[in-house]
Amino acid sequence: MSVMDTTSNFLKTIIQEDIDSGKTAKVVTRFPPEPNGYLHIGHAKSICVNFGLANEFGGECNLRFDDTNPEKESIEYVESIKRDIEWLGFEWAGEARYASNYFGQLYDWAIHLVKEGKAYVCELSADEAREYRGTLTEPGKNSPYRDRSVEESLTLLEKMKAGEMADGSASLRAKIDMASGNINLRDPVLYRIRHVTHHNTGDDWSIYPSYDFAHGQEDAIEGITHSICTLEFADHKPLYDWLLENLPVPSKPVQYEFARLNPNYSITSKRKLKMLVDEAVVEGWDDPRMPTISGLRRRGYTPTALRRFCDMTGVSRANSQVDLAMLEFAIRDELDKSAPRSMCVLRPLKVVLTNYPEDKSEIMRGPFHPQNEAMGSREMPFSREIWIEQEDFREEANKKYKRLVIGKRVRLRNAYIIEADEAIKDADGNIIEVRARVIENTVGNDPEDGIRAKGVIHWVDTATAVACSVKLYDRLFLTENPGAGDTDLMDQINPESLVELSNCYAEASLASAEVGQGYQFERQGYFCRDEASGSDLVFNQTIGLRDGQGKSFA
Ligand code: ATP
Ligand code: MG
């Protein structure tokens, strides 16, 4: 399957050159998530790039969990990540892989470096190490432990591994250059002590490799040809290369960096997303307002719309912000073509059709899609009492209001033209019911008296409608760059990002609405059945009918 577009980007150019020159026989990429949260839209981009390149060049893409920080990781995250990748439509090569499966090999390589005099056990405290490291403008100083003997370092490393040393009391560091202009080369930490149970290796290890010591070597073990990551790792590349040069690794992958996907009104940091979950700002990682893949899925976004968005935003080497409206365009454009039409009244007002016999009912028919006959049609029972939207009735109105008004006519979508006679009110003056009449012979026809209806409104039959809840969503953040500078993103939450309507009525055919299928509620927008609500009929609004929310038939 090729899901990438055919446009070029610098990564494709590099890969093509490597294939042409014979350097690369088969492209192997990998997607390396840390299982410390659910995947977000930025990860979708990385998935599309890595799997997309492999697919396009006839290669393979591995899924490798970068599980080197057991404190923050869990099986729940592992499972959610697998599900999200599969849902996006990609298949990883073979079994999922884990950094933790390579812990033994990585440890052997650590010993190799010590024996070569290229790594040592350092016993500076965290604070001291920071002081010795220097700054961007000041070189660092050599650790007093830097020149200890190979034997001493080996003995200490053994003790670290055996769990005999306390967290933070020592670390294994590469011996590179404390004066390097690149801080990553100032004797970086390769192993730290952590007495923590790991979700995969249990209590086997009380030392864990750093990201830098793990990543390139894992790439090499797996025969990754092109190791694609985001720009923040550019400064790590010299270390990535140093380790591959100084270890007997089975292959020599090359790291390439591209700009992170950074959509406005969103956050793409698992740490911050977790904060929203932990502080109950949202229902969970899959809250439909979250920019997570699981949230977008629950919201009704489709894999094709997400992949299209990732394609549209391109692959570049310069950081920039992309407009979330591009994603909204992608899903709206898709649902406009694919979503069956239906009617649902969100804020119901009862209309009694006084001239329609109480014991009568008819079946109206409406197409599932106005431009696509092949989608067929649906039946809509019609009888004396119907629900319409409260906002579709006024006692009086000017000509611009083309809905139901006393003494005026409106067409009910796929059914009769009706004319309103009277508004019934409760003791407080609220309109609780409208009395109206059907105009005879107007299903599919203009009225015989020539007095036409100006507008068309949606409705459902009270006798057969199904009760449901509808959740309307708006952007989660009020600001384009939530938490930018030293602002607090918690202060920028949109208080109206969720409006829950629990007294809605949908046409009968929606009783069997399927999770994963997008529906257009005519005049209201696109909706999907909420996957987390079980047998309760709850619909999530995916997106409005058009940018800026129009109110007409699409
Ligand atoms: P986070 O800040 O959310 O924790 P991360 O980079 O630490 O992100 P990882 O699980 O390490 O999360 O990411 C897996 C892969 O996804 C990495 O290769 C990373 O570069 C890539 N990635 C993460 N965020 C983005 C993004 N916004 N755009 C493109 N790629 C991303
Ligand atoms: Mg990371």
Token pair in block for residue 512: 């069997």
Is the shortest distance between the CB of 272 and ligand 1 below 6 Å?
A: no
pLDDT one-digit tens code per residue, 92-112? 999 999 999 999 999 999 999
pLDDT one-digit tens code per residue, 286-337? 999 999 999 999 999 999 999 999 999 999 999 889 999 999 999 999 999 9
Write phi, then psi, for 419 (nearest 5 degrees): -130, 135
Asked if residue 420 has pLDDT above 80, the reply is yes
pLDDT one-digit tens code per residue, 401-413? 999 999 999 999 9
Asked whether the domain spanning 348-461 has the same topology as the one spanning 103-211, the reply is no
Asked if residue 549 has pLDDT above 50, the reply is no
Pairing of strands 456-457, 226-230: unpaired
Is the shortest distance between the CB of 270 and ligand 1 below 6 Å?
A: yes
Return the CATH class of domain 348-461.
mainly beta
**CATH for 103-211?**
3.90.800.10
pLDDT band at 548 (very low <50, low <70, confident <90, very high): low
Among 11, 46, 47, 313, say which to mutate for ligand 1: greatest number of ligand atoms within 8 Å of CB. Answer: 46
How many angstroms separate the alpha carbon of residue 304 from the centre of ligand 1?
21
269 Cα nearest atom in ligand 1? 3
How many angstroms separate the alpha carbon of residue 482 from the centre of ligand 1?
18
Claim: this prediction has a pTM higher than 0.75? yes
How many angstroms separate the alpha carbon of residue 42 from the centre of ligand 1?
6
Asked if residue 553 has pLDDT above 50, the reply is no
Q: Which CATH number fits domain 466-543: 3.30.110.40, 2.40.240.10, 3.30.70.240, 3.30.830.10?
A: 2.40.240.10
Structurally, what CATH architecture does the domain formed by 10-98+212-322 represent?
A: 3-Layer(aba) Sandwich (3.40)
Is the shortest distance between the CB of 72 and ligand 1 below 6 Å?
A: no
At residue 433, the pLDDT reads: 98
Long-range Cβ contacts of 281-284 (<8 Å, 24+ apart): 281/490, 281/493, 282/476
At residue 544, the pLDDT reads: 95
pLDDT band at 547 (very low <50, low <70, confident <90, very high): confident
At residue 552, the pLDDT reads: 47
At residue 550, the pLDDT reads: 41
Task: Take atom 29 of ligand 1 and give the residue whose Cα is closest.
Answer: 260
Is the shortest distance between the CB of 175 and ligand 1 below 6 Å?
A: no
At residue 1, the pLDDT reads: 36
Is the shortest distance between the CB of 43 and ligand 1 below 6 Å?
A: yes
pLDDT one-digit tens code per residue, 340-359? 999 999 999 999 999 999 99
Choice among 1-15, 371-385, 504-518 with the minimum mean pLDDT: 1-15
Among 43, 98, 215, say which to mutate for ligand 1: greatest number of ligand atoms within 8 Å of CB. Answer: 43
* Count of CB atoms situated within 10 Å of the CB of 486: 5
Active site members: 34, 260, 270
Mean pLDDT of the chain: 95
Break the chain into its structural domains and give their ranges: 10-98+212-322, 103-211, 348-461, 466-543
Name which residue leads in pLDDT, 546 or 492. Answer: 492
Under 8 Å between Cβ of 547 and 325:
yes
At residue 2, the pLDDT reads: 39
Average pLDDT for 153-181 = 98
pLDDT band at 551 (very low <50, low <70, confident <90, very high): very low
**Residue 520: which of 310, 325, 366 has the closest Cα?**
366
At residue 4, the pLDDT reads: 44
Query: How far apart, in whole angstroms, are the C-alpha atoms of residue 383 and residue 73?
Result: 57
From the CA of 233, which ligand is nearest? 1
